[in-house]
Structures are given as structure tokens and as C-alpha cells.
Structure 1
Amino acid sequence: MKHVTMRQLRIFVTVAKEGSITKAAERLFLTPPAVSMQIKELETQLGMVLFERNARRFELTTVGEYFLLYAKKILDLVTEAEELAKRLQEGAVGELKIGMVSTAQYFVPQMLGDFRREHPGISLSLRVGNRAQVVAMLESREIDIAVMGRPPEGFAVRAEAFAGHPSGFVAPPDHPLADETRSIDPKVIRREPLIVREAGSGTRAAMDLFFAERRVTPTVAMQMESNEAIKQAVIAGLGVAFLSLHTVGGELARGELKVIPVRGTPVVRSWYVVHRTSQFVAPTVEAFRYFLLERGQSFLQQHFPHVAAICERLGAA
């Protein structure tokens, strides 16, 4: 299979459609012997008979019918990749409306500097909200593309993971649990006053799932709609919090916060780039999508070294 060529796949699909070597040769501007030879080589490489030969038509075998489905998918993907490469080479021009969950504002704006230098013809607008708000913006087409931790459900989207997204429990550096070197049972955390994000945020959903899976009911001390407010409350000693570690990268580096080594954390999810599916995807959307998929992981590793070190120490992927 590794030696099968795009040319052979195109010839195979054409013969299957025409049901004739001669007609396929005419469509492909080849000679019938050349088409016949390519089909024989394809069957030899696969070790399968793809056509039943008779005097009037080439009929697909059962194996041939299944192989035809995959051959078409491969050719479609190649065509899509070629079209995308062409769009990117031509240079995207126009407006791009980006939505992001509030947790992503700790790295997306910095990445946009590099993106804009590479795509000066694209004008950018940014919208920030919690997960529920960003999903609503996508559904109503108020934004073209979104960066979020958990893709939406209920309408058709294309969601692709571009980087790891760790979350964990943080406390002030003088907290009794902050210097623990052993893995702490999650039940210990339920005795701590917990400062949480509002319902509808991805961080809150991840925290609720963490506790639900372990049948632990936390002690919620207060709820806030801002990561910054939660960080300041934790630094002030008002409680501990479950947060994306990318939101506290600076505080961890400066020693203002520490990660509590709770068993089962960091909870490593993924960052996703998401856009609605449609027949036509604007070049501006494709350019940003490709940029995040190519650069996202390396950017986060480079700009959040303390987060990467903590994940490695605690055994997270």
C-alpha cells in the first residue's frame, strides 16, 4: 500500500466511474494499455482484485467497492490541501473575527502579533467571554473562529486540538499544602475554602467533572467571573482555586502562587481552534487555523516554561 500513487488512485476512480478502460483512457488523455497497466500494478500492490473483467464493462468487486470509498476520500483530502496551500500562498486578505474564552487571553493576543506580521492584509477583531458566551457567538456567526478548551455541541463545527491545556489547584506559597511533595488525596481539598469560576465557564466544567468523578463535594467559599479576581483572592489567602495553569504562568514563575499536588492533577485537556463548517471557508479563517495548528504547542511550551516543568514533575503528559 505504501507504494500506491495518486496517479493510480485517480485512474482507478475514473475506471470505476466509466466502467471501461477505453472510456477512462479518453477522459484521462491516456492510452488504454497505459490505464490497464496502472490498474494491474495497483491490484498487485494491494494484493486484491478490484475489478471483475467481462467483454462489456469493468465491474467493481466487493473489495473494489470498499477501496473506492477510501480512494475518493484520499483524493478529496489532497485536493483540499492543494487548495489551502494555494490560498495561503496568495495571501489572505479581509477581516477576521476571533472569539476566545477568557482563559485563552493569556496567550492568544501575544500569538496574534506574529500572525499579523505574517498576514498584514488581515484586519483582526477580538471578542472574549466564557465558554457559553463564545459558543453562542459561534452559533450566531458573530465570530468566524474561536479558541476554547471544549468544543461546542448541537451544531456543526470543525474543532481541532492544537496544544495541551493543563489545569490544577493553586494556593498562596505559605499555604500548608503548597510545599507537599507527596500526592494529596482529592478528599483533602474538600476541607479547603474553594474560589470558583461561574457556571458556564470551561474551567468550572472541568473542576465539577474532576470532583464528580471522585465523588467529592467541595466547599465553595465564593464564585467569581474573572480569572484575575480569583488569582488575587488566592494570593490574599482567601482560599484555593482550580484554574488553567496557563492563566497563572506569571504568578508561578514569580513565586506568588504554587500548585498543590492533588492526585489526578494536572487535568490535561486540549486547546481547540473551532469554526463552523460550511461549503466555503474564508482564506482568513484557514490562515489563522493553520497558524495555530502549526505554532500553538511550541508557543505555549516556550512562553510557559514553569507550567511545562510542573506538569513534568507531577507526571502529566
Structure 2
Amino acid sequence: MNSSDLRVFEAVARTGGIGKAALELRTVQSNVTARVRHLEEELGVRLFERHRRGVTLTSAGKQLLPYALQVGRLLTEAEEMVRRGDEPVGTLALGSLETTAALRLAPVLSAYHRAHPRVDIALRTGTTASLTADVLGRRLEGALVVGPVRHEELVEEKLIEEELVIVAPAAWPTWVPREGGARIVVFRAGCSYRQRLEALLAGKGLVATRLLEFGTLDGILGCVAAGIGITMLPRAVVARSALGADLSIHPLPANKGRTATVFIRRRDALVSAALGAFLSLARAIHAPARRSAKLEREMA
């Protein structure tokens, strides 16, 4: 197995057909077919299911694809590094919680773009669970998630500390849900804030009998402001919302109100120049906030 075979395999997987991959690679179909068959024979597994409309990946093919993508990225970066020195180039695939993207990433991305204009950042938002799976599956070089993650295949670094609060409609006299069960407005399953809110309610003997799942922060805050239910979010996110007059913020006990946003990456993956530059900027920009949060804890 060599890099050329993996490049052909990745092209077939992405385009969904031998012919389309051949056109992209500027070669003949027979050459693509031979490369794929050679790779399958060498690995002893089928990588594609053939059908009239093209090909689809088998389970073995799906396992191989992230590695093929990583090899391609590393070869591109190595070539560019030799030609241009230490300047970060290429595409940097990152993940982030939506709350972190909305609140904390803008200054980092702005500074990064000015410092490294030859890098294209592909940012994917999701829950802690989904982003962790994407990093483990090598679909992302790294992601900002709620920590701690504690996975043997991952390295995690604390970058930001947030204060979590309960957010309720301003018209409610208290955040405790009314009779008829707790109504919570949350991100989809796998969200760490959602899990903490459900645990808090369970500790008070309340059961979340009705859930409203949203994929966006604006959707969640809009529903809370409309009086539909409660949610749990970082205080700084709520404080910046245009719906602030329709929301009430309720602090949590000190031992439950703090959460760390950590950056995770695979332990066995090479830190690219582009990723290394991103982490250096993120550490520098968010260091004052971390020191302030530490001081607040010590004074509490």
C-alpha cells in the first residue's frame, strides 16, 4: 500500500464512481480499477460495493478512508513546507461547540486569518459527543468540546473556563418548571450542557418529560424567551443575546457552575503547522480569561 493507491482510493470514495475518479485524476478507468483491486488484494478485504450507479464504501472502506485523507493532507503539507518553509498552508479541519463558536472563536479566527492567510479553516459545529467521534475518526484535526473527555486515544488541553447558568423565561417567578413536568429546550443528544441540566433536575426530583431539541443557539434562546421551557448555557452567551430582556439568569452552586472547554486531538496524529499556529493563538488570546477565572475561584 502506497500513497498513490490511497489517493486513487480517496478519489473513488469521494466521487462515488470509477469513471468520475479517472476524470479527476486524469487517467483511464482501467488504471483506477487496477489500483483499487491491487489495494483490496493487498489488504485482503473489499473496499467498495459495486452497483449500476457507481460504488459505495464497505465497512472496511469506511475505516480506511480517514487514514487516506490524513495521508493526503500530510503529503500536501510536507510538499508545501519544503517549498515555503515553516509557513502554515492548506486546509485546517476543526470542530467546535456552537456556544464556543459564537462566543469565543471570532477573535482567534480573525487573528489567525491575518497571520496565516494561506490556510483555509473548515469549521464544523456539533455536540461534545459528535465532535469527539469526528476527531477519533480522523475527520477533524481537533475540536473544542466540554471537558474532561478522558479518552486514551486523545490529548486534551484546557483553553477556556465558563460559568454555567440556568436560563428561564423572564416572566416565570422561578426557574423551577411548573406543574406537568420539566420542559427543557436543549441541543440534540450528546450535548454536555443538556446532560448536566437533566442531572440537576433529577437531583431535585424533577423529570424532563418534554424535550425540545434544536441545532442552533438562537433557536434555543428564542424558545426560552417565548416561555416554552428552560435551558442551561454559559452565562456569557446569554449576556450577549438580543433576547436578554425576555430571559432570566439563575446561577448554579459553585461546585456545579463551572465547566472547562478543552481542545482535543488524536494522540497519535502529527500536529500540523496550521494546527500548531491555531493552538498558539488560542492559548494567547484566552490566557487572560483563564487567569481571571482562577482568581475568582480562589477568592470565592
State the match for 1:121 in structure 2.
118
Change (3 A) 1:246 1:240: same
State the match for 1:56 in structure 2.
none
Greater CA radius of gyration, 1 or 2? 1
Change (3 A) 1:252 1:115: same
One-letter code aligned to 2:98 = S
One-letter code aligned to 1:218 = V
1:126-145 aligned at under 5 Å gives the runs 126-145=123-142
- Please say if 1:174 is aligned against 2:171: yes
Could you tell me how far apart the structure 2 residues matched to 1:157 and 1:194 are?
A: 32
Change (3 A) 1:296 1:144: same
- Please say if 1:286 is aligned against 2:282: no
Change (3 A) 1:197 1:316: farther
Query: TM-score, structure 1 length as denominator?
Result: 0.57
State the match for 1:55 in structure 2.
none
Could you tell me how far apart the structure 1 residues matched to 2:251 and 2:289 are?
A: 25
How far apart are residue 161 of structure 1 and its match? 0.5
CA contact (8 A) 1:168 1:259 kept: yes
Could you tell me how far apart the structure 2 residues matched to 1:157 and 1:100 are?
A: 16
Could you tell me how far apart the structure 2 residues matched to 1:240 and 1:204 are?
A: 11
- Please say if 1:273 is aligned against 2:269: no
Change (3 A) 1:211 1:240: closer
State the match for 2:218 in structure 1.
228
How far apart are residue 170 of structure 1 and its match? 0.8
CA contact (8 A) 2:127 2:145 kept: no
How far apart are residue 148 of structure 1 and its match? 1.0
Could you tell me how far apart the structure 2 residues matched to 1:174 and 1:316 are?
A: 33
State the match for 1:198 in structure 2.
188
Please point out which of 235, 240, 260 is paired with 2:230.
Answer: 240
How far apart are residue 154 of structure 1 and its match? 4.3
CA contact (8 A) 2:108 2:281 kept: no
CA contact (8 A) 2:171 2:246 kept: no
Change (3 A) 1:124 1:270: same
Equivalent pairs, count: 210
Change (3 A) 1:150 1:261: closer
State the match for 2:156 in structure 1.
159
Partner SS, residue 138 of structure 2: coil
How far apart are residue 247 of structure 1 and its match? 3.2
Please point out which of 239, 250, 255 is paired with 1:249.
Answer: 239
How far apart are residue 218 of structure 1 and its match? 3.3
One-letter code aligned to 1:159 = E
Question: Could you report, residue by residue, the CA deviation over 1:212-260 in whole angstroms, capped at 9, with x for unpaired residues?
Answer: 5x35333443221333222111111112222233432322784332212
Percent of pairs with identical residues: 21
Moved more, 245-254 or 229-238: 245-254
Could you tell me how far apart the structure 1 residues matched to 2:154 and 2:289 are?
A: 25
Moved more, 258-267 or 225-234: 258-267
Change (3 A) 1:316 1:200: farther
Could you tell me how far apart the structure 2 residues matched to 1:277 and 1:100 are?
A: 19
Question: Could you report, residue by residue, the CA deviation over 1:252-276 in whole angstroms, capped at 9, with x for unpaired residues?
Answer: 7843322124545762111111111
State the match for 2:206 in structure 1.
217
Give the superposed CA RMSD. 3.4
Please point out which of 142, 147, 170 is paired with 2:144.
Answer: 147
Partner SS, residue 92 of structure 2: strand
How far apart are residue 123 of structure 1 and its match? 1.7
One-letter code aligned to 2:187 = R
Partner SS, residue 223 of structure 1: strand
State the match for 2:98 in structure 1.
102
Question: Could you report, residue by residue, the CA deviation over 1:94-116 in whole angstroms, capped at 9, with x for unpaired residues?
Answer: 32111112222213244311221
Please point out which of 245, 250, 258 is paired with 1:260.
Answer: 250
State the match for 1:17 in structure 2.
none
Change (3 A) 1:230 1:280: closer
Change (3 A) 1:190 1:298: farther
Gaps of 5+ in 1: 1-88, 179-187, 303-307
